[in-house]
Structure formats: structure tokens, C-alpha cells
Amino acid sequence: MSLLLIAEHDHETIAPATFAVLTAAEKFSVPIHVIIMGSSCQKVTEEISFYENVEKVWIVENQALSHFIPENMVNTLLELAKGYKFILAPSTTFGKNLLPRLAALLDVAQISDVIEIQDQNKFVRPIYAGNALATVTSEDAIKVLTVRPTAFEKAKKGSLKAPIELYPFVPPSIRGLTFVKKEESSAERPELTNASIVVSGGRGLQSKDNFALIEDLADLLGAAIGASRAAVDAGFVPNDYQVGQTGKVVAPTLYIAVGISGAIQHLAGMKESKVIVAINKDPDAPIFQVADYGIVGDLFTILPELTAKMKTVMKN
Amino acid sequence: MKILVAVKRVIDYSIKVHVKSDGSGIDFSGVKMSINPFDEIAIEEAVRLKEKGIASEIVAVSIGEKTCQESLRTALALGADRAIHVETSFETQPLCVAKALKALVERENPRLVILGKQAIDDDCNQTGQMLAALLSWPQGTFVSRLNVKEDEIEVVREIDGGLETLKMSLPAVVTTDLRLNEPRYATLPNIMKAKQKPFEILGEDVLGIDLKPHLKTLCVAEPPKRQAGIKVTTVDELIDKLQNEAKVI
């Protein structure tokens, strides 16, 4: 009757989303086992083994797992999964890519992007880009869930170390799949979905060059940079900056929306933020309906002033 | 090369959905329906491959109620050669759809299946991955660039914090991300021409699969509304509020 949590990591550290899933896992009130898969996992296995409520850590190491390609992971997971009643992973691109593949092989449905666990078989998940919340139940023997990381606090590190056990790698049934490369969009700034502060720009920025104003404030605050779909479509910033329905869902402590009108699609991706600040020249922009603090005016005067004055504040 | 494209009919992306007052689901009455935007991108990509001489035939398929046929007509107007509708009154859930698509793949033998990464109604993001699993094919998910060579494809995937490039041998399943392409509009002559294209309608029993949903929706509710805050007039006031009231900096 245990729960298996598939950890996301990069061989150096455990992805913060994993700790949010761990908190979600605790709601099931069953023993929690974590599985770490990769090519060299000693360090991350040690890290997760000290977290509260982790009863056991499985470690599976193989060169074929170095890039977390689902086709290379599922056969091992399929063997292990048969002993579990609940299987959880974060609803990051890692979990979204992997878990449906596993669920299909187990012949069970997957419940995507869970934001609340009411009991062992009652889950709340957003549909229609968060414009409605559905409470669902599954008739399958094994419940497979991806969990929205921003909906749960991150679990705390404990003092006890959970036992670590090796699990054998089961070779994949699919061949002819090769990893070519990975391009990271920005190594200096925090990842958008993990950042505690996000500064986002929209069409109001008017050009790619003007996005430097957003960068200045973001770098000062140690924030991640986000953007509306309009700004991405206009080519001001790369695709993976997009916050919203079809982009990333974020819930930072502070979200600063600059020159973003607040289309439903954008609000769906950021309205769970703790504090929202909006800077926009249009006093009727929908963004002000969700903002805690709004300031109406020209972003090209307000934004540099804000950055300059923040600099003084940060110094003190 | 034959390409299979799967489309789902959903409430148009520009419509603000309303929850029925009894909490039983979404109100569909009088609401504009469209092809799922990610599936439109899938059709466009297939059509471009045909225009480049890489694809020989595009088969558009949809599983669901009779009204899905309108979406398939649109797919034909956009450039698909044939359409297959699997008619069912069941709510279409990813695992069952994946099983139906697998049966269609075995019937049609395409080398490539392209579908949207998620439908904007249930936001599941599962069907492509599940289909690939059931077929034992490789999957290229959340793809923003697709390069088809003779016997393999190279895909650029949008992942958290960047891009990942993979190569995989065909046959394969590809799911589209938003920026793979910009779909064209159906022109009037093409809409007319689409009426002449082959259109097949199958009952769910023909495929010999069980489309009964595994998940049950107990209730649907509006999300809690966020209260609008206050407007400040100066940057100093904003900083003061963030420091002393919200205490976030």
C-alpha cells in the first residue's frame, strides 16, 4: 500500500518541484518510497534520503538514464510500479513527458496537474487553464498522478536518513533514440517556476531592446524573467519565458507584471502568486483586477525609477 | 510517407468558460467550438511536410461525438487528404483515446503521428505519450522544431529552462508545442474542396476497444476569485507597501 515518488534531479541537486510532490505525497498517509534514476546518482540520493517522511530511496543507475529519456526509464519503473498503489511525479516537463508513458503501460488513467488531495481517491485539478476546478476520482487500482509543484509547500529536511536500496535497470524496448543536446536559456537567473520573485514583461515593452529594463530590475531582485504570450510572439524574448495557459504556471512570492494587460491566458499562469504588482498605462487593464498593488502610468518612466529606488532599498 | 494527425474539438480558446450552477460541469450551451489550437499546429506541420514532398498522405482522425466531424472538415480544408471519425458518446479521456488511435495506426500504418501536446479543455497532456507507449514507438513531446529525414526525425523540445534536441528513428509520435509553426486559415475554395474529400465514420465497436472512461468527475467548481487590491500613485508608495505591508522585499 505504499507510494512511489519519481524524483526529478539533474545529478547535482534534487529539483525543488520534487519537494513539493513530497508534501503532496504525505497527504496519502502511506509509506513514501522515492526512486532516483540517472547515470550517477549518489549525491542526489543522499540529499533526498534525509527528507522527512521518506521511508526508502530506490536508486537505479545506468548510462542510458543520463538524460532522463522516458523510453529508457519506463521498463524499470513498470517492474517496480507493480508493488505500489500510488505513483507521483511533478507536473514539470520531466513528469509530463514520463508519467503518461508509464500509466499507459500499466493500463491506468493518469490524473494530471493535481493541486489538492482530498483523500486517497479524490483529487482536485484545474481544467480550462484554471478557469474551473474539477474534483476527480479514479477507478483504477493504481493511481498515477502528476502534482503541480506550486500548489504545495516544499517538504522539510529531517535528521534521520532513510535506507537506500539499489534496484536493477531494466533495458528499454525502444532503440534508435539519441540525445543530441540541451540548451539552457539562462544559467545566471533562477528557473522561472522555482523563483521566489518573477518580473514579467508584455507587449507594452514594445521591443526586444526595451526588455533590458525588465532584466535590470530582475537581476537586482534576483528574480526570474517572465513574459506574456504577446511579448513572446513578438520575438522580444525566448519561448520558455512565457507565463500562462500554454506556457509556465508560476506562483512566486512576488510577481511584477510590467506592460501586461492581463489576458485570461496570462492570468491562468500567475494568479496564484502571493503578491502581484501591476504597472500599466491603461487603468482599465484586467491585470489590475488581480493585482494587490497597481500603478497606472508609463512603464518607461516608472520602471527605471523603481529599479533605481530599489537599488537604494536593497543597499540598506 | 503517410502521416496521421489527431484532432480534438474543444471550446474555442477565446471563450471564457462558465461552470454550471449545479457544479456538474462546464456549460456548453451556445458556446463556439473549434479545433484544439495545438492540434491545428499538428495539422499545419503535416501540411508543410506534404508541401515539401516529404509526406505523401495526411489522414486526420478524431474521436468523440458526431459534432467532431465539423473539426475534421476543417482539417480537410486546411490540407488533410482524408478524415476518419470514430464516433462515441463517452467522454473522451486520454488513455481510451490513445487506445483508439493505436487501433487506427494499426489500420492505416502511418510512419509519423502528430498531435497537440495537450487539449485546452481538460489540459491533460497525456495522449501522445500514451499512444507512443502503447505502440512501443519513440516520442518527441512539446516539439518546437521538427526535421524529418529519411528514416529518422530530429526534434527540438521545449523543456523547463531551455531546449532539448533528440533524434529518433521512425515510426514515431510527435506532440506539438505552441511555436512549432503558425497555422494557416482555411480559404473558401479549400473549404468547398474539402467537401469532396474521403470521409469515413466508424463506430467504436469497429475498433474493438473499450472507450469507457477510467476517471469520474465528481464536481466542477469556479476557482476562488482573487480580490483586486489598491492602486498606488508613486513608486515610493509602491516600495513602501512592498516593504512594510506585504513584506516581500
Among A18-27, A44-53, A238-247, B230-239, where is mean pLDDT lowest?
A: A238-247
pLDDT in tens, A6-46: 999 999 999 999 999 999 999 999 999 999 999 999 999 99
- Grid coordinates of A163: 535506507
User: In sequence order, what are the residues at sequence separation of 6 or more whose Cβ sits closer than 8 angstroms to the Cβ of residue A190?
Assistant: A196, A222, A223, A224
Mean pLDDT across A235-257: 89
Asked if B17's CB is within 8 angstroms of A131's CB, the reply is yes
Mean pLDDT across A296-303: 97
A295 in contact with B, Cβ within 8 Å: yes
Residue B244, judged by CB atoms within 10 A of its CB (0-12, 13-18, 19+), counts as: exposed
Mean residue pLDDT of chain B comes to 95
Q: What integer pLDDT is reported at residue A98 of this predicted model?
A: 98
pLDDT at B232 over 90: yes
Asked if A246's CB is within 8 angstroms of B130's CB, the reply is no
pLDDT at A186 over 80: no
Asked if B235's CB is within 8 angstroms of A104's CB, the reply is no
- Residue of B217, B226, B246 with shortest CB distance to A134: B217
pLDDT at A264 over 90: no
Domains of chain A in sequence order? 2-166 (3.40.50.620), 197-315 (3.40.50.1220)
Query: What DSSP designation does A51 have?
Result: B
Asked if B242's CB is within 8 angstroms of A71's CB, the reply is no
Q: Are B155 and B146 in contact (CB under 8 A)?
A: yes
Please report which confidence band the pLDDT of residue B249 belongs to, taking 50, 70 and 90 as the band edges: confident
pLDDT at A265 over 90: no
| Sheet strands (E) in chain A | 2-6, 32-38, 54-61, 84-90, 110-114, 116-119, 122-127, 132-138, 143-147, 164-166, 177-184, 197-201, 224-227, 254-258, 275-280, 293-296
CA angle, B226 then B231 then B233, to 5° = 160
Q: What integer pLDDT is reported at residue A171 of this predicted model?
A: 97
Mean residue pLDDT of chain A comes to 95
B219 in contact with A, Cβ within 8 Å: yes
pLDDT in tens, B112-123: 999 999 999 999
d(CA B166, CA A127): 30
A116 in contact with B, Cβ within 8 Å: no
A118 in contact with B, Cβ within 8 Å: no
pLDDT in tens, B25-66: 999 999 999 999 999 999 999 999 999 999 999 999 999 999
Mean pLDDT across A116-131: 95
pLDDT in tens, B183-219: 999 999 999 999 999 999 999 888 888 899 999 999 9
Return the residue in A96, A145, A298 with the most chain B beta carbons within 10 A, the one to mutate for interface testing: A96
Mean pLDDT across A212-225: 96
Q: What integer pLDDT is reported at residue B126 of this predicted model?
A: 98
Peptide bond into A190 cis (omega under 30): no
- Work out how many domains chain B is built from and give that number: 1
B137 in contact with A, Cβ within 8 Å: yes
CA angle, B153 then B157 then B160, to 5° = 165
Task: Count the helix, strand and coil residues of chain B and give each as a percent rounded to the nearest 5.
Answer: 30, 30, 40
Q: What integer pLDDT is reported at residue A184 of this predicted model?
A: 85
d(CA B141, CA B129): 7
Return the residue in A102, A174, A184, A188 with the most chain B beta carbons within 10 A, the one to mutate for interface testing: A174
| Percentage of chain A exceeding pLDDT 90 | 87
Task: With CA atoms as reference, report the closest residue to B80 among B182, B168, B200, B205.
Answer: B200
CA distance B67 to chain A (A): 20
Spacing of C-alpha B158 from chain mean position: 16
Domain CATH for B200: 3.40.50.620
Spacing of C-alpha B57 from chain mean position: 20
pLDDT at B160 over 90: no
CA distance B148 to chain A (A): 14
Give the chain B residue nearest A222 (alpha carbons).
Answer: B249
Q: How many residues does chain B have?
A: 249
Which residues form the domain of B20?
Answer: 2-245
Using alpha carbons, list the distances in angstroms from residue A266 to A124, A255, B249.
21, 12, 24
Measured between beta carbons, the chain B residues lying within 8 angstroms of A242 are 178
Q: What integer pLDDT is reported at residue A193 of this predicted model?
A: 83
Mean pLDDT across B90-99: 96
pLDDT at A135 over 80: yes
Mean pLDDT across A123-131: 93
Instruction: Please report, in angstroms and rounded to a whole number, the separation of the first and last CA atoms in chain A.
Output: 53
Please report which confidence band the pLDDT of residue B161 belongs to, taking 50, 70 and 90 as the band edges: confident
Return the residue in A128, A188, A220 with the most chain B beta carbons within 10 A, the one to mutate for interface testing: A128
Mean pLDDT across B166-175: 98
Q: What integer pLDDT is reported at residue B109 of this predicted model?
A: 98
Return the residue in B137, B152, B160 with the most chain A beta carbons within 10 A, the one to mutate for interface testing: B160
Q: What integer pLDDT is reported at residue A248 of this predicted model?
A: 86
d(CA B185, CA B92): 27
ipTM of the complex: 0.95
Instruction: Classify strands A293-296 and B230-232 as parallel, antiparallel or unpaired.
Output: parallel
d(CA A169, CA A63): 10
pLDDT at A261 over 90: yes
Q: What integer pLDDT is reported at residue A61 of this predicted model?
A: 98
